[in-house]
Structure 1
């Protein structure tokens, strides 16, 4: 079994990255928004959903989606510790995304069988993640850490690494990142606007998801 595959699930980090061009970065402040949001995204062609652990209700939202939206593949973002990984797994998360990388987080996700997209911003961080068996990585914060030029430069020494750039990615520049050979998908929040979630405008979110799911790569 690969280090980045969950026992019995058949899901790997590469599966998460390849399912759709965009991995939505979701921040939820109310549990009642979780299920209709997930349904809108799935209806628009986005199944892999990253709910970030940035709010007190995040774990409850993950649990609600895991229970009530079986078509979605729910993951936890902003996983910063082994405790975060454990809590996310117990809530029903099927993959994890971290803003950075530590051996402790990598080991915890491996022991839990939780596919992990670790965040990296430097060559040293890529090498540390690779030493622990991780070759599918989140480039974060993408625009602030060098953007397209950095990913192109990494294509030489890290030709065996696949990236999901996140941070500053939007509808206007996503296609440029997706055109790179070492990019499998991009992470972004533009398909889950805060005001649309707050107002319950699920039709708008479905429309944004549909457009994102059709981006070329």
Structure 2
């Protein structure tokens, strides 16, 4: 089991962050760690993403990965910056294969059974379902469970704190990802800590209910 899958199974939540400045990454990860979350996906959707990732990569308390990775060149760039894992919005065999070559865990986005089969053919058993809400939400997770009983899914896209437990109670859902703990704007470590702590408590209570 790779470190990404292990941490996803523990936290059940992957915070997704779009940075406005590279320096925002520091209070962000400090707040997540203090609030009990050990993962963050720093996306490349802003120019601050790559340098911000480089500022906080390599931490042991928060596993910092790169998201919205679209090309092989971006894989090389984020790995050079220290990304512990790679997350993609869609399924690209070339991107996945490059991650495997470099020995970096990858969580590729899938939206169809065909893409799931392509991921399985490359030796992956954990994928991101994206965009989960538009694909049918928890019902899509249930539908995939039939032909792919061993698949581990991380739904993403349109996931809110309130609906997250409904996904997490389903067999095969390893974790969910979302941005409610890491909204854009000036980052306060204390605000992130409070949001992270509230999320940990909410998800724990919701899954056990």
The TM-score bracket by the shorter chain reads over 0.9
> Residue 21 of structure 1 contacts residue 212 of structure 1 at CA under 8 Å; is this kept in 2?
no
2:131 aligned with 1:141: yes
SS at match of 1:152: helix
Kindly state the Cα deviation for residue 12 of structure 1 after the two structures are TM-superposed: 4.0
Q: Figure out how many residues of one structure are paired with residues of the other and give that number.
A: 204
2:83 aligned with 1:96: no
- 1:60 corresponds in structure 2 to 51
> Residue 11 of structure 2 contacts residue 37 of structure 2 at CA under 8 Å; is this kept in 1?
yes
C-alpha distance in 1 between matches for 2:159 and 2:21: 25
5+ residue gaps, structure 1, are 6-10
2:102 aligned with 1:112: yes
SS at match of 1:138: strand
> Residue 26 of structure 1 contacts residue 51 of structure 1 at CA under 8 Å; is this kept in 2?
yes
- 1:29 corresponds in structure 2 to 20
> Residue 177 of structure 1 contacts residue 183 of structure 1 at CA under 8 Å; is this kept in 2?
yes
> Residue 19 of structure 1 contacts residue 48 of structure 1 at CA under 8 Å; is this kept in 2?
no
RMSD, aligned α-carbons: 1.4
- 1:182 corresponds in structure 2 to 172
> Residue 27 of structure 1 contacts residue 55 of structure 1 at CA under 8 Å; is this kept in 2?
yes
Kindly state the Cα deviation for residue 205 of structure 1 after the two structures are TM-superposed: 1.4
TM-score with structure 1 setting the length = 0.90
Following TM superposition, where does structure 1 have runs of at least 4 consecutive aligned residues deviating by more than 3 angstroms? none
SS at match of 1:25: strand
C-alpha distance in 1 between matches for 2:7 and 2:43: 16
C-alpha distance in 2 between matches for 1:66 and 1:31: 12
2:11 aligned with 1:20: yes
- 1:205 corresponds in structure 2 to 192
SS at match of 2:146: coil
Kindly state the Cα deviation for residue 66 of structure 1 after the two structures are TM-superposed: 1.5
- 1:40 corresponds in structure 2 to 31
SS at match of 1:28: coil
SS at match of 1:19: helix
- 1:8 corresponds in structure 2 to none
SS at match of 1:50: strand
TM-score with structure 2 setting the length = 0.93
- 2:140 corresponds in structure 1 to 150
2:163 aligned with 1:173: yes
